[in-house]
Structure 1
Amino acid sequence: MNTLQQIQERCGNYPDSIAYITQGGALTYGELWRQSTALSAWLIDKLGSSGPPIIVYGHMQVELPVCLLACALAGRAYIPIDESTPYERIDKIIDSSCAALMISAAEAKQENFKSRIPIIDVASIGQIIHDSVDGMSPVSPVPASVKGADNFYIIYTSGSTGDPKGVQISADNLDSFVGWMNTSLPFTEQDVVLNQAPFSFDLSVMNFYPALVGGAALWALNSQLTEQPEEMFSELQDSGLTCWVSTPSFAEVCLMNRIFDDKLLPSLRTFLFCGEQLSAGTVKKLMQRFPNAKVINTYGPTEATVAMTSVVITQEHLAASLLPAGKCKPKSRILIVDSDGKETDEGEQGEIIIAGHGVSKGYLGQDELTEKSFFSIEDEELGVVRAYRTGDIGYIKDGLLYCCGRADSQIKYNGYRIELEEIQFHVEQIEGVKGAAVVPLVRNGKCVLLSAMVVTERKDEEEEQIMRRIKRRLAETLPSYMIPHKIIILDRLPLTQNGKLDAKRLRERLVEEISR
């Protein structure tokens, strides 16, 4: 059975079990399926059973899982967009994707968008479900659902030109990932799984579909709560969490508070990390605070459907300076190649190439970019499969992958993959900015701070005014996680003898600034 069929079976067999919990309400498996099929029937009636994708807009609202499943059941790919996303960026996604419709679980007004896209608001969603749901079978047939090579979802990530790029994940890609998760890292009916990542971040896929297939309850954490630690820990204490799924950075923030331990979360048995580098220091603290919980590290870009490797971190691993990212999942391959594209010897660094059934078909509507990053390889066991050049540097030792950082201007920051050139592009569009460079502060292979080095032509403005103005303008075009924490005003950008930007001197200047 594919992923949707497994969810259908779960909803039919355990209709009264809790599927999704958020601060605004809860859904049982039966309610999830009835409401999703009701909304999907309406979508098919209005739009047909195939065609352009549908945007699903919101954060952690109780309606969001219904909207996501409804699109897939109606034979349409969905594009998740978090409500924190600037309208200008949403307009670019609408135009790029040629989306047919926006289903909004949050407040979204037509006048906020330049693009003329039909919007179904939360009140309309409720009315559609109310009008359709009475008398429906708890398990209705899903003949129109996405399957095989059809796009299941499209997640937009940072792009170097200033425009986001849409990663297409097919039903086959998702089935491969969920099948691996349910075999190697399964959730069960006894589990309550943290849903910390917004649905626009593919880390959310790691808990969402495997949890629904396994019969677990998803416990969604609203981002507003994370800004109120006392209230957040109070909610967590009552959650009954058994499995923690997040970026390492979020766990590190929680570890800053002494209350974050096994007394707060006595049922917690697993930490599952993805999205960025996991440090030995973080694992040591978790093992001290939660001695009965295991810590699992995973690795994989959005283009490979969330994750391709996993490993349970042990005390033996902690003796090394770099933690392993894990062993490759079945029906997949990880290759390490040098600058000439030749495979390296064991333990030798090179670019990480990922191949297998989880690899995306490419970027929506961007053939040139797709051809640059994706290709096909022939494998003795797998046959001809899709492959992706990650741009990550790593090596393989004793069958385990180790990641050493990025090979280009793309970084991982707080779990989000960010193109530094995109941030630079938007900084340089601001009035009065003559030149700019975006410089990350990297410690132990992990980006801990983003800065923008800026040369301005407005000499009559105080530096503090310039910094505030730049951040204010960036907030109009970029998500909050892409806005540099520190703005540094320079007289000029340093260059090397070859006329290239002197990255070394910029990094030294950043260290000097934060040391003051």
Structure 2
Amino acid sequence: MLHDMIDNLEHLAQSQGDFPVYNILGEVHTYGDLKADSDSLAAYIDVVKLPAKSPVLVFGGQEYEMLASFVALTKSGHAYIPVDQHSALERIEAIMEIAKPSLIISVGTFPLAVKAIPVIELTQLKDIFAQKTSYELTHSVKGDDNYYIIFTSGTTGKPKGVQISHDNLLSFTNWIISAEAFSVPDQPQMLAQPPYSFDLSVMYWAPTLAKGGTLFALPKELTTDFKYLFDTINQMPIQVWTSTPSFVDMAMLSNDFNAETLPHLTHFYFCGEELTVRTAQKLHERFPKARIVNSYGPTEATVALSALAVTDEMLKSCQRLPIGYPKPDSPTFIIDEEGRELPHGQQGEIIVTGPAVSKGYFNNPERTETAFFEFDGLPAYHTGDVGSMTEEGLLLYGGRLDFQIKFNGYRIELEEVSQNLNKSRYVKSAVAVPRYNKDHKVQNLLAYVILKKGAGKQFSRELDLTKAIKTDLKDIMMDYMMPSKFLYRDSLPLTPNGKIDINGLMSEVNSR
């Protein structure tokens, strides 16, 4: 059992300093490198004299320097805020406004002009690493200190910063490295594909660093070139694949993605969205001896709260795969609208309790008070998911309570998409609606749009109008939030309260 993430890394640097910790397209860094580089940066951060325990924003992609910066910040007592370099400008601005970071480490090119906050750019960062300054651990992140803060989608149009403490992270890490469901290999060779701003990344880096393994980074740029992507994956000696089901669906577009081409690949870990029976069956056909793990959990409960290894019987008999057995230290319950625990088999809201539950949203007490509470004397979180529990303690998923959805692994709140659509100069009113496939998975996002007066007359085709709206919003909305189809209407149905009837539109879209 781990007691301290950094102490464990220090031990690994001593016991296997020459062993690779990070491999990004053939550029290899060892555990010794990680210690030396993070020590140098931690020493520099101490000299800068940032406010104690203040959060630091780290901006970039899948570069090694991202990981080294995270470790350095943990050593120097600061939480890190990972922000992906492909983020929309408005999202970055919102995170800056909410988090008020004391420092920015810009591994990628930071797109905003910043005056009041110090910025360490990549060239300076490499110079700091090169100094090989020794460092004594005296005030590293521990206990209830924030380890990282990950920003998720927010209903007000502003993202929410989920605070994950060192204790929260230990709860998750000790579970994943010991649970039979995952059966993490020793010194695991893991694919590092989900961006660090997505907490699914913790499912690959935490067990890998805990057990002295190697991360094989897959930069996002590769995913736009299928041939290069598949060629790169096929050359990786990975044992463990961690991704959303959507990403493995894309990988299976290549006929070479199979056990013959990738003989070392024996474990698949899925989270972030629903793993359908169809995807699991297809993957099982490609990798008949591999362990396929279905896990579930919100960011607010530290990555995942339940998991199971998918069996042949489940693939034959289940219409919807179970989402696992809750981790032992995180009692999970099904409650009704009054907050009372429901009997086995009855459907209600899934709530999770225990040491992996976040302390709340950073600098957002109102949203924290709404989502976090106490249950049976333990810290608890309202997942907003509908589910039920079998008598054996197996968790079954039944959808969302609200209008928050998972699409391609990203959590999206429909209200945020709608608010962003309304920022286009051509749009008077708009609402985003998900279309589901028969596997209960979001197939695509649709936008119902009422145009401003005269806007439609500026374009000879609806296609050109849609392109113009998307161009209008490209710096405001993340790519994964952009609806794939725009439907133009003169009016939209309203509820008795005068609000757009989203439920009615969802029924209309999904009854076709």
Report the TM range for the smaller structure's normalisation: over 0.9
CA-CA distance at 1:502 after TM superposition: 3.4
| 8 Å Cα contact 2:168-2:355 kept in structure 1 | yes
CA-CA distance at 1:511 after TM superposition: 5.8
What's the counterpart of residue 286 of structure 1? 283
What's the counterpart of residue 198 of structure 2? 201
CA-CA distance at 1:105 after TM superposition: 1.1
| 8 Å Cα contact 2:423-2:473 kept in structure 1 | no
What's the counterpart of residue 162 of structure 1? 157
Distance 1:385 1:5 in 2: 28
Moved more, 71-80 or 312-321: 312-321
Task: Identify which of 388, 397, 401 aligns with 1:403.
Answer: 397
SS of 2:157's equivalent in the other structure is coil
Task: Identify which of 375, 380, 383 aligns with 1:377.
Answer: 375
Moved more, 290-299 or 428-437: 428-437
What's the counterpart of residue 326 of structure 1? 324
Task: Identify which of 445, 448, 451 aligns with 2:446.
Answer: 451
| 8 Å Cα contact 1:311-1:326 kept in structure 2 | yes
* 1:120 pairs with 2:117: no
Distance 2:197 2:152 in 1: 9
What's the counterpart of residue 381 of structure 1? none
Q: How is 1:418-433 mapped onto 2 (pairs within 5 angstroms)?
A: 418-433=412-427
What's the counterpart of residue 221 of structure 1? 218
The TM-score normalised by the length of structure 2 is: 0.94
Task: Identify which of 1, 4, 7 aligns with 1:5.
Answer: 7
SS of 2:483's equivalent in the other structure is coil
| 8 Å Cα contact 1:52-1:97 kept in structure 2 | no
Moved more, 494-503 or 328-337: 494-503
What's the counterpart of residue 39 of structure 1? 41
CA-CA distance at 1:510 after TM superposition: 4.1
| 8 Å Cα contact 1:96-1:365 kept in structure 2 | yes
What's the counterpart of residue 101 of structure 1? 103
| 8 Å Cα contact 2:230-2:254 kept in structure 1 | no
* 1:440 pairs with 2:434: yes
CA-CA distance at 1:471 after TM superposition: 1.2
Query: 5+ unaligned residues in a row in structure 1: which ranges?
Result: 379-383
The TM-score normalised by the length of structure 1 is: 0.94
What's the counterpart of residue 350 of structure 2? 352
| 8 Å Cα contact 1:86-1:475 kept in structure 2 | yes
* 1:300 pairs with 2:302: no
Q: How is 1:483-498 mapped onto 2 (pairs within 5 angstroms)?
A: 483-496=482-495
How has the CA–CA distance of structure 1 residues 511 and 320 changed in structure 2, closer, same or farther, with 3 Å as cutoff? closer
Distance 2:144 2:474 in 1: 37
CA-CA distance at 1:432 after TM superposition: 2.8
* 1:144 pairs with 2:142: no
Name the amino acid aligned to 2:45: L
* 1:183 pairs with 2:178: yes
Name the amino acid aligned to 1:374: F
Moved more, 399-408 or 23-32: 23-32
CA-CA distance at 1:455 after TM superposition: 0.4
Distance 2:489 2:117 in 1: 42
| 8 Å Cα contact 2:51-2:102 kept in structure 1 | no
| 8 Å Cα contact 1:10-1:213 kept in structure 2 | no
Distance 2:49 2:272 in 1: 35
Residues 325-365 of structure 1 show CA distances to partners (whole Å, capped at 9, x for unaligned) of 10111211111011121111211110000101000000001
Distance 2:488 2:142 in 1: 52
What's the counterpart of residue 153 of structure 1? 148
Distance 2:353 2:293 in 1: 22
* 1:387 pairs with 2:380: yes
What's the counterpart of residue 61 of structure 1? 63
Name the amino acid aligned to 1:466: L
Residues 188-221 of structure 1 show CA distances to partners (whole Å, capped at 9, x for unaligned) of 4442101110000000011112101101111111
Q: How is 1:359-370 mapped onto 2 (pairs within 5 angstroms)?
A: 359-370=357-368
Distance 2:458 2:26 in 1: 45
Distance 1:79 1:170 in 2: 13
Distance 1:51 1:314 in 2: 45
Distance 1:502 1:46 in 2: 53
SS of 1:488's equivalent in the other structure is strand
SS of 1:501's equivalent in the other structure is coil
| 8 Å Cα contact 1:332-1:355 kept in structure 2 | yes
CA-CA distance at 1:63 after TM superposition: 0.9
Distance 1:406 1:509 in 2: 18
Distance 1:74 1:49 in 2: 11
CA-CA distance at 1:470 after TM superposition: 1.6
SS of 1:362's equivalent in the other structure is coil
Moved more, 266-275 or 488-497: 488-497
CA-CA distance at 1:165 after TM superposition: 0.8
Distance 2:324 2:507 in 1: 33
CA-CA distance at 1:431 after TM superposition: 1.5
Name the amino acid aligned to 2:78: R
How has the CA–CA distance of structure 1 residues 496 and 362 changed in structure 2, closer, same or farther, with 3 Å as cutoff? closer
SS of 1:460's equivalent in the other structure is helix
